[in-house]
Amino acid sequence: MTGHAERVAASGRPPGPADAQHVPLTAGQRLAQDAAEAAELRAYRTHPDVIALRVERVRAQVDRLCWAGIVLGLAFTMTNVQSFAADGSPVWSLPWLAAWLLDPTVSLVLLAILRAEQVTARYQVSTGPWVRRAKWFTLAATYVMNTWQSYAAGSLSGIVLHSVPPLLVFTAAEAVTDLRDKLTEAVNAAFTEAAPEREPASTTGRRRTRGRKGRKLFADYLDEARQAWTPDVVITPAWVRQVTDCSRGLSSRLAETLAAELDGGERP
């Protein structure tokens, strides 16, 4: 380091960013740097807002898959319900055409209830007994109309075949509501567990940025160190901690990054 300073003085020019000295890291400092990086990564992965974002993605996937299964199941039952309602009426006659309206009438009411429960379950709001009764009635009506002819004919295979879709719709309609409720509980649990670790809103200074609105990022610390650097400063982890108030583990990484940046001739 002394030889480098002498060469700079002999050159007759003032010291600049390129003259910043890089202090090699010891084995302990490298371990501290790794620990700081792991802690920072874990802190973001376990942050309630990150968990909430992941749960929202899972919730969207669950909704899409359940809705696809429910719609396909109701579409499968449509022809059987139409056949039940037409009761042998000539094709294209008015009774035959009107029979096609029965299944969509029941299905649309069921879909409307499920769509409303999609919102109420998200915010864990109780919908009352009549909502569940209406849902069960529409599902029971779909099942009876779909399997009536098979029961009348005494066909066990037909009963099984035409029982699976409506029963699947029934169980999926009940399960998806509970799943949405539990996903909401997962988000609430993440925020509840993180609450004791948060700093109070009255905290002043740099630590105020570590609340729910976001954490102080590595780039923020680096920008503070970059602005505080002057040509007569030797960049060390201790100096970085002094000007940025960062952790001991993070200061080594900041010092190395800033020194490499200045050695490359980039001005802050």
**pLDDT of 26 above 80:** yes
Cα–chain-centroid distance for residue 190?
12
**pLDDT of 132 above 60:** yes
**pLDDT of 170 above 80:** yes
> Tens digits of per-residue pLDDT, 52-98?
888 888 888 988 998 899 889 888 888 888 988 888 889 999 989 99
Q: What is the pLDDT of residue 175?
A: 86
Q: What is the pLDDT of residue 204?
A: 37
Q: What is the pLDDT of residue 101?
A: 92
* DSSP single-letter state for residue 23: P
Dihedral class, residue 158 (left if φ above 0, else alpha if ψ from -120 to 50, else beta) = alpha
Q: What is the pLDDT of residue 108?
A: 92
Helix (H, G, I), strand (E, B) or coil at 217: coil
Alpha carbons 137 and 25: distance in angstroms, whole number: 72
